[in-house]
Amino acid sequence: MNMTRHASTRSQQRCIPPMMIDLLIQFGKSESAGSGATKLFDRQTRKQVAAYAGSLASLLDDHLDFYAVVGPDMQVITVGHRIERMKRH
């Protein structure tokens, strides 16, 4: 996974491990964030993660409430915790 320095700093500050970002990239729902970037977030992917992770899914479930913004080249630009519902444009 390719991350900007900003994304790496934010993931450390916000305690979002790279493995969770990988799962979000693989299973997350996406929508346009403008300027060619994409916003990835978990909406209904918990079942997919549960099927993928097996018995570890219950441990991962608490850590899935976050988002990531990725550029057109799939480089992670930033990550953050989802406190509110994602707003639709």
pLDDT above 70 as % of the chain: 87
* Domain assignment present for 87: no
Nearest Cα to Cα of residue 49 among 83, 29, 26, 70:
26
With beta carbons less than 8 A apart as the criterion, state whether 10 and 18 touch. Answer: no
Give pLDDT tens digits for 20-59. 888 888 888 888 888 899 998 876 667 777 778 787 777 7
Q: Which residues of 74-83 are buried (b: 16+ CB within 10 A; e: fewer)?
A: eebbbbeeee
Q: What is the layout of strands, in order, in the sheet containing 66-70?
A: 29-34, 37-41, 66-70, 76-81
* Domain assignment present for 71: yes
For residue 12, the tally of other CB atoms under 10 A from its CB is: 12
In the chain, the number of structural domains is: 1
Look at residue 81 and tell me whether its pLDDT is greater than 80. yes
With beta carbons less than 8 A apart as the criterion, state whether 65 and 82 touch. Answer: yes
pLDDT of residue 43: 62
* Domain assignment present for 89: no
Tell me which residue range forms the domain holding 26: 5-81
pLDDT of residue 84: 64
- Look at the pTM and tell me if it is higher than 0.85: no
pLDDT of residue 25: 87
pLDDT of residue 85: 58
